Chain A
Amino acid sequence: MLFIKELKKICFSIVYILFIGLLLLSWHENFYGVTSKEIQASNGAEASITSQITGGSILAKPEQGADNYGLIKKEVPDKIMCGGTDMLIIEYLNNSYATYPFNYYKEVILSTEEQKEILSIIEEITGLSEEQIKNLPDDYFPSVNGNIIHMGGDAAQNQDGSFSFSTENSDTLQEEEDYTKHFVAQVSYERFKELMSQAEEIIGDGSYYSMDMLLEYYGQAEMTYDEAINEYNKTIYDDKVSIAFARLFCDYMTRVLGLYPIFIVVVFWLKDRRNKMNELINSKQIETVKLITVRTLAILTAVILPVIILSFESLIPLMEYSAETGIAIDAFAFIKYILWWLLPTVIVVTGLGTFLTILTTTPIAILVQFIWWFIDSAITGLSGDTRLYTLMIRHNSLNGAELIQRDFNIIWLNRGLMMFVSIVLIYLSIVIYNKKRGGKLDYAYFIQKHFGIFKERLRTRFQK
Chain B
Amino acid sequence: MTTKRSSTALAIALSLSFFAAGCKKKIAAPPAPAKPAPVETAKPKTTVARPIIRFFTAEPTSIERGQASSLKWEIVGADSASVNQGIGSIGTGANIAGNRSVFPSSTTTYTLTARNAGGEASESVTVNVTAPPTKTVTTPAPAKASFSEVIARDINDVFFDFDKSDLREDARNTLTQNADKLKAIFRDYPNGTLTLEGHADERGSAEYNLGLGDRRAIAAKEFLTQLGVSADRLRTLSYGKERPQCTDNNEGCWQKNRRVHFTGQ
Specify whether A and B are partners.
no
Give me the interface of B with A, judged by CB distance under 8 Å.
none
Give me the interface of A with B, judged by CB distance under 8 Å.
none
